[in-house]
Amino acid sequence: MRIVIIGSGFGGLNAAIEIRKKLTSPQHEIIVVADKAQFVFRPSLIWLPFHKHRLNKMTFPLRPTFEKAGITFIEKCVQALMPKQNHILCKDDEIIEYDYLIVATGASPDWARIEGLEGRSASIYGISTALQTRKKVKEIKEKDPIVIGVGQGNPNQGIAYEFLFELEAYLHEHRLECPLTFFTYEEELFNGKGKEPTERLERLLEKKQVTYYCNVSIERADDESIYLTNGKQLPHSFLFVLPPYKGVDCIFASTDLEHDHGILPVHDTLQSIQWKNIYVIGDANNMKGTKSGRAAELQGTLAAENIIKQIQQEPLQSFQEDTMYFMELGKAGAMLVMDKPVKEGVFQWAISGMMPHIMKRAFEKYYLLKFS
């Protein structure tokens, strides 16, 4: 039995390790295929533009981790998935066959879907873009108008809030007074995570004199301004907007896969709606709810468990979102948001201050120590 995982982020790494723990026999071959041999603890990317972190504290090489676990690691770029033939095609034309496949490729920013946004917004979706944003942050001058926002359709809104508060702290530290404006397509701040997180954010934005707009979308952007559906024209010298997501290139090149902008539809078991031996986890699937490293990790665990159940011809389990989200708040520390299903409905809870910030840094160290 050969199980192939495409991608080695939170979801792919966790899925591979979990499967290997439960399927220890050498007759079960576990293969991870990824175009990068380095794991990046992505929640820590928020600190890179502000010189608050070092790269060696948030990354580790993947190959030794997989070798120690008895997992084959192939550092290659996948060109296309061929589900009818049960194999994937790499860009060097190597074919890798599978019995079961886990797609953990993540997603990528779809800048082109919003007119004028591409090339104008700063970003922290990867190490290189976070370092480029560091340069842009250094260029901010007194009274420069700054606009930060969540574009319509983006499923991980928390990144924009974190960047807003970290940048505000940076400006305060460097004694720069700049008008800050925040906007989001959400009906209210951090929508759907409960009343308490929303109210905490409202109080913080008012305290820091940040103008903000909710329930608005972007019509277009240019070099001077960003134009919102509420009629507001926001001038900017520095722009940071989260765009919609799209799938990675190999999904678009896979002619036998149905998708929406490269995002694959799944059942609540995380199985592809088309192919019973393909599971899709993390940002690569269309499952509603929070898109985060923790969500990808939980889905990786469930995909591993369901593959084993499928092999043993047992009923599959459905995914239930269990959100634990850390949001950095600059000088105010951080906020920990809990959103957990219980028998009576949904339990929602939030705390803020220095303790959640310390907890996030501790979790980062634990995670890297656990897997590296």
Contact 93, 99 (CB under 8 A): no
Domain 2-107+247-311 belongs to what topology?
Answer: FAD/NAD(P)-binding domain (3.50.50)
pLDDT of residue 338: 84
Q: What is the pLDDT of residue 342?
A: 62
Residues 131, 41, 109, 16, CA torsion sign: positive
Q: What is the DSSP string of 237-261?
A: SEEEEE--EE--HHHHT-TT---BT
Reading phi first (left if > 0) and then psi (alpha if -120 to 50, else beta), residue 192 is in left
Task: Please name every residue paired with 323 in a beta bridge, in sequence order, or none if there are none.
Answer: 339
Ordered per-residue pLDDT tens for the chain, 372 residues: 999 999 999 999 999 999 999 999 989 999 999 999 999 999 999 999 998 788 888 999 999 999 999 999 999 999 999 999 999 999 999 999 999 999 999 999 999 999 999 999 999 999 999 999 999 999 999 999 999 999 999 999 999 999 999 999 999 999 999 999 999 999 999 987 788 899 999 999 999 999 999 999 999 999 999 999 999 999 999 999 999 999 999 999 999 999 999 999 999 999 999 999 999 999 999 998 878 898 999 999 999 999 999 999 999 999 988 778 899 999 999 999 987 766 666 667 789 999 999 999 999 999 999 888
pLDDT, position 216 = 98
Q: Measuring CA to CA, which residue among 324, 115, 83, 336 is closest to residue 226?
A: 115
If one counts every other C-beta atom within 10 angstroms of the C-beta of residue 209, the result is: 10
Sheet strand arrangement including 334-342: 323-328, 334-342, 345-353
pLDDT at 214: 98
Domains 2-107+247-311 and 111-244 share a fold: yes
The CATH code of the domain at 111-244 is 3.50.50.60
Output the CA angle 193-47-134, nearest 5 degrees: 125
Longest dimension (CA), the chain: 65
Please report, for the chain, the start and end positions of each structural domain, with discontinuous segments joined by +: 2-107+247-311, 111-244
